[in-house]
Chains A and B, each alone.
Chain A
Amino acid sequence: MEELIKNLGLIINATLIATPPLLYAALGSTFSERSGVINIGIEGIMTIGAFVGAAVAHFTGNAWLAFLCGGLVGALFGLIHAIACVSFGADQTISGTAINFLAPGVAIFVCKALFEQSSNTPPLDTAQKLPKLFNGIFEVGSFWNNVLNTYVATYLAFVAVAVVWFIFYKTRFGMRLRAVGEHPKACETQGINVFRIRYIAVIASGFFAGLGGAYVTLCTVSQFRPEVIVGQGFIAIAAVIFGKFTPHGAMGACLLFGLCNGLKVLLGSGNVISPNLISMIPYVVTIITLVLFVGKSRVPAASGKPYLKQK
């Protein structure tokens, strides 16, 4: 029985570490998607967010500053995507793909420039990483320590879900955002500035994706390597669709995927099943859940279509 609880604690711990990067990215993505702009570039943005987080933490020793900077860089790339898609009406999938080349490219380029041709940043020690909550309060290895003694940024992620939910469903901005994703022309004729709302939404998606990436290097891995994101951005997109484009839905989906990633970490150390097969689990689970559950997921009606103003 004790073993069971202990393992349960370990699983929850692993889940809580794996979920936040997905959750931050997914929350940002819901902003963008609900406003009608698809952003598949969040994979690339998470990569550069991860790099900036690690680099700033290394140079300044201030993890929260590094976390914020990761978000800001993400917002910058979000801005690029917004300019291309909202102002210039570019095909959103192509623009997103361009960012998936550009962002990691810039990240590794700068990394090599700053760190003597290495495409990895130096490892961060605990002081330079993001802090944990309840550190030292519980006994190491106990159930409660595993469950509660996790990063502040993790708790923040779940708080963010509530904040985003409030914004979407209770505020003016949220209502207009959702309307813009359904029928931008209707909004325009009511005097709403469609472009401005989409810009904000897309920049927000970049910001959150950057935070998600920075979380990985500032909490989980402690170092930037080119493959540190490895598909998490795309899983976040799957989570958004699976969660029917709502913040609470995205949270549920990210927890599920986080659980899979968490299991990967736990089972992989056993050497019973090949780590490669285990790595496939999240992706296979995604497809199965999409087949079984999504079906009639209601995509925002204006999703993917550039809004062209007539003069």
Chain B
Amino acid sequence: MKKTSHFDPNTVAVQMTDIVKKFGNFVANDHINLTVYKGEVHAILGENGAGKSTLMNILYGLYKPTSGSISIFGSPVHIENPGHAIELGIGMVHQHFMLVEPFTVTENIILGMEPTKAMVVDIKKARRKVKELSERYGMHVDPDAKIEDISVGMQQRVEILKVLYRGANILILDEPTASLTPQEIEELINIIRNLTADGKTVLLITHKLKEIKASADRCTIIRQGKYINTVDVEAVSEHDLASMMVGRDVQFVVDKKPIEPGEVIIDIQDLHAKDYRGVEVLKGLNLKVRRGEIVGLAGVDGNGQTELVEILTGLRKGESGKVIIGGKDLFNADAHTLFDNGVSSIPADRQKHGLVLEYSVAYNLVLQNYDKPPFSKHGILKKDDIYKHAEELVGKFDIRGAEGGTKEAGKLSGGNQQKVIIAREVTNDKDLLIAVNPTRGLDVGAIEFVHRYIVEQRNKNKAVLLVSFELDEIMSLSDRIEVIYNGNIVGSVPGYKANEKVLGLMMAGGTKNETED
């Protein structure tokens, strides 16, 4: 089925020629060329660190190119800053939303371009314009709601309205589908279609191959700062795109040997908890994980998985319930106790929770064990033993840039930082490993590495709880998938029977029965 396309091959909206961008000696963009037509949906595909964000940041005026030229609708331009880009009709919707939490939807949209009457901000006029725009493109928003109270999907629509309010004709969407359900992704694709039907041009920065196939007309692939190719999306497969992106044949499925799951390692019963606002977020959750199995917890961000993981790792207290580990009820135990009883985790935010960036890699590798032998004795640290341990792990896990463990963890790349955490937790070798979004922000090579170790733990008869927003990851790794919605487990599906449609529906609150095929 051919998707409707609105692009006008006679008008070039954006022309970036021979763009070079250096940061010191590091070449982020190496002579990249990009041609985008009016009304086109053009995807920019590349791994993390490939340079696609840099390129778009140049287009939006956040960076200045070291050399090269840009022209918009045929006129050469030098884009000085975002304000200038906005004047040229270029708008950017960032991956990490740039929204002021305590302000309303309307206030966020008009910020920086507020209509005034006398000296006062004319909120009424603003609301009218916001309503008008949202209706035109089919985007539902509540103009008076505060950002901190609305869903991620609506927040994204606010971001899009921000650029439309400023009269953007060229929209850059940076990884727009990160936290959306499959249904919300479809809504977004519709919105994009409405935009192009109105003559707008859309640039999509992404590494999600499915979305490219579903929404883009053409795709430019960038690898390690260099321009690889521009293809007509209809004419290539996902596999082709992936290969161009990494430069080698990519393995999508992980080899898992069949294992009979063993004893229950962790038994969560009737767990109730509140979030940071005091709203009940876990409403009697039940979950079991056994030895030798990977349980994937699928769900859209905001349904309680964050709080669940925090309780299991001792970072948050729940209201009531049981968390039985190794026969003991460790409900509301602190981090130290949970760790001692066999719970280790790969945290969602490696820089916030997983590492002390100013500490050396070696010191980070003993974060939970610095006060135990052989790393310390009678309260005195034994540095020789700490560094020896680090050297071993750096070698075994191929942690690049660590200089034997002496380098500051903050100076390593994202992938290598994650390797430090994985090295540490695998070595801790606890009975239960909780992995939360373990491959976020990593490129395909690093993803393979992480998946390999997760499966290895399971093969070693450990229990693994995988919490991820990437359905693909959950589906390819899990032995069993549990879907969390609104603070409860609403469905359980064996890994091999997993179907994205069914899961997506459950994640959004529908039940399995409704989709009986």
Contacts and interface: CB of A to CB of B under 8 A. Distances in A.
B121 A187 contact: no
Interface residues of B, number: 26
A179 B100 contact: yes
A190 interface: yes
Given A171-B119, A311-B63, A186 B111 contact: yes
Interface stretch (B31-39, B81-89, B458-466): B81-89
Interface in A73-116: none
B62 interface: yes
Given A191-B82, A310-B62, A182 B112 contact: no
A244 B3 CA distance: 53
Interface in A182-225: 182-183, 185-192
| Majority secondary structure, B binding face | loop
Interface in A118-162: none
Contact of B111 (A170, A171, A175, A311): A175
Contacts of A179: 100, 103, 111
B116 interface: yes
Nearest to A302: B100
Given A191-B83, A310-B62, A311-B63, A172 B116 contact: yes
B145 interface: no
Contacts of B111: 175-176, 179, 186-187, 190, 192
Nearest to A309: B62
A35 to B, nearest CB: 13
A171 B120 contact: yes
21 contacts: A170-B120, A172-B116, A175-B121, A178-B100, A178-B103, A179-B103, A179-B111, A182-B102, A183-B98, A183-B99, A187-B112, A190-B82, A190-B113, A190-B162, A191-B81, A191-B82, A191-B83, A191-B112, A191-B113, A192-B112, A298-B102
Given A175-B111, A175-B114, A189 B82 contact: yes
B112 A190 contact: yes
A181 to B, nearest CB: 9
B329 interface: no
A267 B200 CA distance: 73
B62 A191 contact: no
Contacts of A189: 62, 82, 92, 94, 98
B119 A170 contact: yes
A170 B62 CA distance: 30
A278 interface: no
A172 B117 CA distance: 10
B269 to A, nearest CB: 32
| Majority secondary structure, A binding face | helix
Contacts of B103: 178-179, 182
A188 B82 contact: yes
Contact of A186 (B83, B100, B113): B100
Q: Which residue among A175, A176, A191, A311 has the maximum number of chain B CB atoms within 10 Å of its CB?
A: A191
A184 to B, nearest CB: 10
Contacts of B119: 170-171
* A-side interface size class: 20 to 34
A183 B101 contact: yes
A310 B64 CA distance: 11
Across the A-B interface, give the 5 residue pairs with the lowest CB-CB distance, nearest first.
A191-B83, A190-B112, A186-B98, A170-B120, A182-B100
Given A171-B120, A175-B121, 15 more contacts: A175-B107, A175-B111, A179-B103, A179-B111, A182-B103, A183-B98, A183-B100, A186-B111, A187-B111, A190-B82, A190-B111, A190-B113, A191-B82, A191-B113, A298-B102
A185 B120 CA distance: 25
Interface in B3-50: none
Nearest to A179: B100
B351 to A, nearest CB: 16
Interface in B150-181: 162
Contacts of B102: 182, 298
Given A179-B111, A311-B63, A170 B121 contact: yes
Contacts of B116: 172
Interface in A272-311: 298, 301, 310-311
Contacts of A186: 98-100, 108, 111
B63 A172 contact: no
B101 A182 contact: yes
A179 to B, nearest CB: 5
Contacts of B101: 182-183, 301
Contacts of B82: 188-191
Contacts of B63: 310-311
Contacts of A183: 98-101
A175 B83 CA distance: 18
Interface string B98-132: 11111100011001111010011100000000000
Contact of B121 (A171, A190, A298, A310): A171
A119 to B, nearest CB: 44
Nearest to B108: A186
Contacts of A182: 100-103
Nearest to A185: B98
Contacts of A176: 111-112
Contacts of B120: 170-171
A262 B214 CA distance: 72
Given A182-B100, A189-B82, A172 B114 contact: yes
Nearest to A180: B100
A172 B98 contact: no
Contacts of A190: 82, 86, 98, 111-113, 162
Interface string B435-474: 0000000000000000000000000000000000000000
Contacts of A187: 111-112
